[in-house]
Amino acid sequence: MTLPETRKKRADPGEIVAVIRRILAENGHDYRWHYILATLCLLAVAATTAFSAWIMKDVIDELFYERRQDLILMVAGSIALAFIIRGFATYGQSVILAKVGNNLVARYQRRIFDHLMKLGVNFFNDTRSGQLAARINENVNGIRDLLGMTLKSVAGDAVSLVALVTVMFIQEPILSAMALLIGPPLVYTVNYLMRRLRRITRESVEINSRLIGAMQEATQGIAIVKAFTMEDQLSRKISELVGNAEARANKIARVSERVTPIAEILAGFAIAGVIAYASYRSAAGVQPPGSVFSFITALLLAYDPARRLARVQVNLERSLVNARMIYEILDLKPRQGDAPDAPALKIAKGEIVFDLVSFSYAESLPVLHGVSFVAAAGKTTAIVGGSGAGKSTLTALLQRFYDLDAGTISIDGQDISKVTKHSLRQSIAYVSQQPYLFEGSIRDNIRYGRANATDAEIEIAAQQAQADDFIRQQVNGYDTLVGENGVTLSGGQRQRLSIARAIVRNAPILVLDEATSALDNESEARVQVALAEVMRNRTTIVIAHRLSTVVNADNIVVLEHGRLVEQGTHRALLANPHGVYARFHRLQNEKGLGIVNDIKAAPEKPKRARVKAVAARSTS
């Protein structure tokens, strides 16, 4: 499940209306009074603008031409009142629409995050997190802008323009017809630019999302960047993306701003022609000039709303692209939805049965081929095998991160595909090979295992995970902030916090995926003692690369190339010298013995040289 590819084709003419209708259907009821008030304010602005042009006839004819001093106070007072109303109305609609827009952004941010949490792991495997975050951050404003611009255009600029044109026709019909000749060429220009802008805007959004995603990945992996001296490579990559983003932004500016000079030129010719004709007619006749001045005022005031309306479709195209990309995410359907009326998982003992399980990732070769075994209730089952054998895939399938191609997985006789995912995952405590910590304090990260865990339970879990000592050595103890993904802690410390999080969950099933891989020998030994206590009377599945960590397992399942080739206890598997497990055991023992022999064979070397030789052998 991935985000839809960029579409090059032109959208349907009614797509803007369709998207606006959808946004209103989803949110209009909650904001109806806000929009009513904003509309009234916009209408007041339009009315007072038209009144300012209308009153110019009386100003010229009555006050200046007829010199009616008795009307000075009334005319001046009405103009002042119109501007007071216009000022408050403009302020009111701006604040109301800003409040609604900000609330819409917050609402869609929450909605998108909630929806993302419902999507399967496969979606996030196929989508780069940096690009996804950048797209959401950039696109969500399109929802706000689409509604805001539409309301301002319809209730504000369109009404103002209609009112001013009405004044123009009442005062000078012939001159008004001359002024409106600029309409058809302006409409044609806008439609042409709109078609080009839609494609460029979408390309710009995609490029910016890749740019921000690449920057985020570089900062998150700064240690690897420094270690492999990747600064120049990444700088060239980022510079190329920045250049592409700049080029697209410049192209958008060139295309969208072409409306301005075209509108200015057309308006200049129209206004110049009107003024010339009006001046010629005024010089030849004896009609008071009030109606002409009123017409010219209305014409000049109508220019701004007309110019904004000419650009509104261009601006709406930008917002439409962003809003549509948001809905592309919201319209993604989770592949692993719960079955209708699915019951909650009920665990009595905790026996797990893998029955002829087959699985392959999208567009890849099969990973598992008909794997069958039983993880006995309250016992420890270890899964061992070489890299790519399918060990971690089995635990991912147990948690329903993916759906099976064939076979079933059941817990206490209940097919996990027919129960709710929430109840299934609440019954499992998981420690991954790569520990992940979230923004917040150490206490917060442990409490993610169980939201209602008390401080005392958190500290007990940390003690069992051999984490309490180093936690109390931190500046603020359990309230110490861990930084981005625990950057302030060592790998072993992060892993022990991850184990504490699993302990505090207090689930009947425990899954340990190379849970001690990041620990040194001393810490590993201490954690293994703690885990032995936690694993008691729990159904535990342990994935291990080092066989020394699974010798006490009740059952060991051996995988090779996605197939189960052996299973039994450590002693029983070693009894078959030609078996896969026995071969793994010999290889690991030989490696360990080789390291010891390296140290013994080079006693005359300085300590640093001996350590270097051992390290080179251990990583080979």
In angstroms, the CA 149 to CA 474 distance is 52
DSSP track, 150-167: HHIIIIIIIHHHHHHHHH
Element (DSSP H or E) covering residue 370: strand 366-375
Q: Give SS3 for 392.
A: helix
State the sign of the Cα–Cα–Cα–Cα dihedral 255, 257, 261, 267.
positive
| Phi/psi of residue 12, nearest 5 degrees | -65, 150
Percent of the chain clearing pLDDT 70 (strictly above): 82
Q: Mean per-residue pLDDT for 573-598? A: 72
Q: Look at residue 408 in the predicted model and tell me its pLDDT.
A: 92
Tokens describing residue 539: 């159904």
| Phi/psi of residue 331, nearest 5 degrees | -85, -5
Does residue 602 carry a pLDDT above 50? no
Q: How confident is the model at residue 297 (pLDDT cuts 50, 70, 90)?
A: confident
Q: Look at residue 275 in the predicted model and tell me its pLDDT.
A: 72
Tokens describing residue 83: 């501007």
Q: CB count, 10 Å around CB of 180?
A: 14
Percent of the chain clearing pLDDT 90 (strictly above): 11
Q: Give SS3 for 203.
A: helix
DSSP secondary structure letter of residue 603: T
pLDDT, tens digit, 9 for 90 and up, residues 483-528: 777 777 877 788 888 888 988 888 899 998 887 766 677 767 777 7
Which residue in 213, 210, 217, 216 sits closest to 241, CA to CA? 210
Topology of the domain comprising 15-330: ABC transporter transmembrane region fold (1.20.1560)
Q: How confident is the model at residue 375 (pLDDT cuts 50, 70, 90)?
A: very high
Q: Look at residue 596 in the predicted model and tell me its pLDDT.
A: 36
Q: Mean per-residue pLDDT for 188-210? A: 71
| Contact indicator for 420, 341 with CB cutoff of 8 Å | no
In angstroms, the CA 352 to CA 334 distance is 25
DSSP track, 77-98: HHHHHHHHHHHHHHHHHHHHHH
In angstroms, the CA 516 to CA 552 distance is 15
Alpha-helical regions (H) of 331-365: none
Superfamily of domain 352-585 in CATH is P-loop containing nucleotide triphosphate hydrolases (3.40.50.300)
Q: Look at residue 558 in the predicted model and tell me its pLDDT.
A: 92
In angstroms, the CA 490 to CA 512 distance is 20
- C-alpha distances (whole Å) from 359 to each of 180, 356, 393, 398, 406 are 68, 10, 9, 12, 7
Q: Look at residue 287 in the predicted model and tell me its pLDDT.
A: 60
Rg (CA), the chain: 36
Q: Look at residue 242 in the predicted model and tell me its pLDDT.
A: 86
DSSP track, 232-249: HHHHHHHHHHHHHHHHHH
Does residue 149 carry a pLDDT above 80? no
In angstroms, the first-to-last Cα distance of the chain is: 38
| Contact indicator for 559, 387 with CB cutoff of 8 Å | no
DSSP track, 264-296: HHHHHHHHHHHHHHHHHHHHHS---THHHHHHH
Q: What is the mean pLDDT of the chain?
A: 78
Q: Which residue has the tokens 């004896």?
A: 286
Q: Look at residue 194 in the predicted model and tell me its pLDDT.
A: 67
Question: Using DSSP, how many helices (H) and how many strands (E) does the chain show?
Answer: 22, 10
Tokens describing residue 563: 């197939």
How deeply is 435 buried, as exposed, middle or buried, from its count of CB atoms within 10 A (0-12, 13-18, 19+)? buried
Q: How would you list the strands of the sheet with 428-431, edge to edge?
A: 428-431, 509-513, 539-543, 380-385, 555-560, 563-568
Domain residue ranges in the chain? 15-330, 352-585, 586-620
Q: Most confidently modeled of 106-110, 528-532, 602-606?
A: 106-110
Give the 3-state DSSP-derived string for 430-485, with helices as H, strands as E and coil as C: EECCCCCCCCCEHHHHHHCCCCCCCHHHHHHHHHHCCCHHHHHCCCCHHHCECCHH
Does residue 330 carry a pLDDT above 80? yes
Residues 6+ apart with CB under 8 A from 8: 199
Q: Mean per-residue pLDDT for 287-296? A: 72
In angstroms, the CA 573 to CA 585 distance is 10
In angstroms, the CA 458 to CA 480 distance is 14
Q: Most confidently modeled of 52-66, 138-152, 339-353?
A: 339-353
Tokens describing residue 184: 């058809």
Between 189 and 457, the more confident residue is 457
Does residue 317 carry a pLDDT above 60? yes
Q: CB count, 10 Å around CB of 567?
A: 19
Tokens describing residue 394: 């089995």
CA-based diameter of the chain, in Å? 122
pLDDT, tens digit, 9 for 90 and up, residues 381-438: 999 988 888 888 898 899 888 888 899 999 998 999 899 988 998 899 888 877 788 8
| Contact indicator for 44, 273 with CB cutoff of 8 Å | no
In angstroms, the CA 592 to CA 609 distance is 19
DSSP secondary structure letter of residue 518: T
Does residue 599 carry a pLDDT above 60? no
| Contact indicator for 20, 325 with CB cutoff of 8 Å | no
Q: Which residue has the tokens 């190379």?
A: 514
In angstroms, the CA 505 to CA 517 distance is 21
Q: Look at residue 381 in the predicted model and tell me its pLDDT.
A: 93
In angstroms, the CA 383 to CA 390 distance is 9
pLDDT, tens digit, 9 for 90 and up, residues 442-497: 999 999 888 889 999 999 999 888 888 889 998 889 998 887 777 778 777 888 88
- Say which range, 159-163, 326-330, 405-409, 522-526, has the weakest mean pLDDT: 522-526
> What type of residue sits at position 76?
A
| Contact indicator for 553, 542 with CB cutoff of 8 Å | yes
Q: Look at residue 604 in the predicted model and tell me its pLDDT.
A: 42
Does residue 556 carry a pLDDT above 90? yes
Q: Mean per-residue pLDDT for 327-353? A: 84
Give the 3-state DSSP-derived string for 27-43, with helices as H, strands as E and coil as C: HHHHHHHHHHHHHHHHH
Q: Look at residue 7 in the predicted model and tell me its pLDDT.
A: 43
